[in-house]
Structure 1
Amino acid sequence: MTSSQIKFETVDQYIASFPADVQQKLETIRTAFKQAVPGAAELIHYQMPALDYNGKLVYFAAFKNHYHITLPHAGKVLEAFKDELSGVDISKSTIRLPAGRPLPMDLLTRMVKFKAEQLRGK
């Protein structure tokens, strides 16, 4: 059964539906984002893992050829990090990162923190 056929109820269930190498990357994303925003609640939204902090903070997912990071209403975030994101595949508020490359976790974590500060009203 492919992950697109499963109705996920938990982030653990979502992550467990992938091969071990993908699970490892998803856990890396999950851990980094949770550490970046303590108190954010995990949930499944649109059949993807999400962290909620004063409104949806970030979604993350794995696809066949890329990892997908979505920061809803991310205009200010993308603008603040535009130089570091040059050459990255971005559509609206979604960042697509090739599956065969290392994830830029430092950059992604800083972006999630920036978004959390926006949601806090700073």
Structure 2
Amino acid sequence: MYHGRPLVGFGAAKNHCSFYLMSSSIIPKLARARTGKLKGYDVSGATVHFTLDKPLLATLVTKLVKERITENEKRTKK
């Protein structure tokens, strides 16, 4: 929780892991920016799926968490 709202989460299944963004606006925003940071990962809504063979890059996790922090702060100010 950050500012009273969920920030991010992780999940693990038998064949993959998931990074939950708790927001459906961040992934489309990155896709529009055409940064390619999500290339090679399965994406569904507000979730990025990955495997132990291809873990999420630390720089990507940092960017996604910072985006969520910013989003939570903006929502708190309203």
TM-score band w.r.t. shorter chain = 0.7 to 0.9
Q: Which secondary structure state, in structure 2, belongs to the residue aligned with residue 121 of structure 1? A: helix
- Which structure is larger by alpha-carbon Rg, 1 or 2? 1
The residue aligned with 2:60 is: 107
Residue by residue, what CA displacement relative to the aligned partner does 1:42-62 show, whole Å, maximum 9, x if unpaired?
A: xxxxxxxxxx11201101122
Between the aligned partners of 2:62 and 2:45, the Cα distance in structure 1 is: 19
Q: Does 1:53 align with 2:2?
A: yes
Choose between structure 1 and 2: higher strand proportion. Answer: 1
4+ residue runs of structure 1 moved beyond 3 angstroms? none
The residue aligned with 2:15 is: 65
Larger RCO (CA within 8 A; separation ≥ 6): 2
Return the offset for 1:103: 2.8
Q: TM-score, normalised by structure 2?
A: 0.75
Q: CA RMSD in A?
A: 1.7
Unaligned runs of 5+ in 1: 1-51
The aligned length equals 70
Percent identity over paired residues: 29
